[in-house]
Amino acid sequence: MKRILGLLCLFISLQSSAIEVNSKLSGIWYNSDQSGHGLNIAVLDENITIVYWYVYHTDGTPMFLITVGQNTDNLTSGITYYNTGMKFGEFNKDDIKETEWGTSSVTFHDCNNATLQYASDVEGYGSGSIAMQRLASVAGQKCSDSPLHGNYNGAWSENGEIGYGIAALFENGDMVFGAASDSSGDVGLGQWWITSDHTFQFQGYTYSVFGEANYISGSGNYNEDELTAFYTGGGYLFATPVQSFQHGLTTLKLAGSYDVHDWDGELAGSVTVQNDGTFTGTTSLGCQVNGAFIIPNTLFNQARLANAGISGCGDTLVLEGAAIYRNATDEIIIAAADETTGYAWILTRK
């Protein structure tokens, strides 16, 4: 796994099946057709979940409803209250009046979908149900069947050479990775699989930015805080989770015009990304660039490259790879490869 650890992006879709209430369901939930009200859900333990429903009185003034729910399988339910009386700035707890509003429950269908049901004892509110989708997760609490699913910062060491980068691991076992040191850069494609509760293996091919392919394989250990691995040729890597993996991603967020820089910072061209994720552009040599970003799950900071290629400068190159979005600097990081060469790009918004 020559220079494996740099930009490692593995892409998956979450499974759609009933799920027991657990801390990974904590976060913000809403209905996209009713944006303006929603739920803040905090799963405290296997027994108790607090649900804050930020909503409105029948006269249109804001209120929030509180339910301390009891958990049973994929359901949390309980009596719902709202509070009045405390004056802003004084915050005297003796002024609070707690009113029982009714009952509420949330049924979780999977990591991303739930149903809110309510029945009010207060005149005018009635009862009903609302389909809810997850809007945001709590950092570090990814809802996934795989403990390795995530993006990672890391470093690798091989034959005295050290490189740095970012890495990610995903449920379906596909890998896209890349890295850079002072003297070289590599991108790779491969697979990984779990071998026990805290061990995994992987294999694939790395593609140098100079046009050299190498088979790699290795094994490692992981926990919620880090992963380590040894690989072909005496290499070693170490990685820790990146919390921005939880920020989520959409093609609309990626839309815009970008300058393209290669692995050593040189200007390599420009591209424009449309709202639907399709992109077109040119390289600094005048070649045509095209393709699309596909977002497997908008809850996680990952994208695939689809139908990507470079043409108009000799043979057409077909690229396979992946991207993540760097929120802090508004950049897209891409790792891709054809049959012989790796391409590591940073897309900087114009």
User: Which tokens hold the place of 205?
Assistant: 């091919």
pLDDT tens profile 299-309 = 788 898 999 99
User: Which tokens hold the place of 189?
Assistant: 């494609």
User: Which tokens hold the place of 82?
Assistant: 């709202």
Phi and psi at 94, nearest 5°, equal -70, -15
- Classify domain 23-137 at the CATH topology level: Porin (2.40.160)
Of residues 79, 82, 51, 50, the one with CA closest to residue 65: 82
Q: Quote the pLDDT of residue 314.
A: 86
- In b/e form, how buried is each residue of 222-232, taking b as 16+ CB within 10 angstroms? beeeebebebb
Residue whose pair of structure tokens reads 């508004």 in the numeric block: 330
pLDDT tens profile 225-273 = 888 999 887 888 898 887 777 777 899 999 999 999 987 789 999 999 9
Of residues 143, 149, 140, the one with CA closest to residue 167: 149
Q: Quote the pLDDT of residue 5.
A: 38
Q: Quote the pLDDT of residue 139.
A: 66
Per the model's pLDDT, the better-predicted residue between 140 and 276 turns out to be: 276
pLDDT tens profile 51-89 = 999 999 999 999 999 999 999 999 999 999 999 999 999
pTM, two decimals, is 0.67
Q: How far apart are the first and last CA of the chain?
A: 35
Contacts of residue 345, Cβ cutoff 8 Å, sequence gap at least 6? 260, 261, 262, 263, 268, 333, 334, 336
Beta bridge partners of 129: 117
Percent of the chain with pLDDT over 70: 91
- pLDDT beyond 60 at 120: yes
**Region(s) of the chain under CATH 2.40.160:** 23-137
Among 98-102, 145-149, 329-333, the range scoring the smallest mean pLDDT is 145-149
- pLDDT beyond 50 at 46: yes
